[in-house]
A = this chain, B = another copy of it.
């Protein structure tokens, strides 16, 4: 095995490597780093037991448990650290709180159901689906009440969409710096949702042409409710009963939730029990006192429904430790409530220079998009940033650009560019750059 010194590779400071040139060099870099650790990468003339590393890897296992012991499977005990996490100081009760998705430990675009972020306003109701009903009433010709069995008879569709709380990143408007991407961006998750289009149900009840707004209300303790424009309801809104193949999880609205793709997470009403058609928004608590954007001049923006273009680097990211100099694949997620992601740029020098990342196909509308870009870390200080652009041409703003327009009073819709700063020891911190 040809040995190449890592420092010889990085002729360009924190520079690029195309994929072909990466390969052989990565081998050398990998070998150099691993030689210092217990289980070293080894060049083996022949594979035989004498060449096994001293810590005796589990090389062949006796018969383990079989198929009947876990009819519904669970992750490996070695992945017990990959869980949703709460921030203790953030809310006064766990019943009205948030559990963040561990984005730093996830791969691809699908969020497994057990790790989908949670945001509750009144606990998780334990609903017997046989007793649940959905009522559609108000300005409709035939007010109707549906059982689950009746709802699930309708023609259905499946779509992969993200859901994001508009407070994602909200703790940082005024300068707080959360320690990991789980807490800066972990209020976004992405699943395949199956259900009936709301337009199908509204056609069924016969909407009065004067009806322009729909109130959606949940069956949780707080009766979470939001007003949604009829136009959105007739476009791509759905009443969903399944996520990632199986029925909704309790904390995601079992047995049914509203899905309004690209709109604020809280509008995707969970445990939905009622849709009411009217001519104006209902000015509920969740669209007056909450979920409005307080501006610098004391006025508040209301009905800012769409989750604008956003992105985050998930590896390397704040709270992680760089294991070695040399090749790293920078990867992350981008999304837009207005459609498809068109481009993601990545900077390793705090936004001075940008390169365009590769987007993993399929790139879908209002869906997480995984991006990846190769990088050679030379061991010096680096500032990693990602900047997403969606198909409408909207470019994710810097924090300074966002604050210029919106001030620092809001706790919602903070979709600005983040910076992960890598120090010379490989430590990674969340820092705020203008």
Measured CB to CB, the residues of A under 8 A from B are: 1-2, 19, 22-24, 26-27, 30, 34, 37, 39, 41-47, 51-53, 55-76, 78-79, 82-86, 93-99, 105-116, 118, 120, 122-133, 135, 137, 142-147, 149-150, 153-158, 191-194, 200, 203-204, 219-221, 223, 241-242, 244-251, 254-255, 271, 273-274, 323-324, 327-329, 331, 360, 362, 364, 370, 372, 374
Contact = CB atoms under 8 A, between A and B. Distances in A.
A24 B201 CA distance: 10
A291 B327 CA distance: 41
Contacts of A331: 156
Contact of A133 (B53, B65, B203, B254): B53
B144 A43 contact: yes
Contacts of A150: 30, 34, 41
Contacts of A42: 144-145
A76 B128 CA distance: 9
What are the 10 A-B residue pairs with the smallest beta carbon separation, nearest first? A66-B94, A61-B125, A71-B83, A108-B158, A64-B123, A107-B242, A63-B123, A107-B194, A66-B95, A67-B99
Given A58-B131, A158-B109, A143 B43 contact: yes
Given A360-B158, A362-B364, A245 B127 contact: no
B60 A223 contact: yes
24 contacts: A1-B144, A34-B150, A37-B147, A39-B131, A39-B147, A41-B146, A44-B143, A44-B145, A56-B131, A60-B223, A64-B124, A65-B94, A65-B95, A67-B120, A72-B83, A72-B114, A82-B246, A82-B247, A107-B242, A108-B194, A110-B192, A156-B329, A244-B244, A362-B364
A135 B200 CA distance: 55
| Most B-side CB within 10 Å, residue of A64, A142, A156, A245 | A245
A155 B86 contact: no
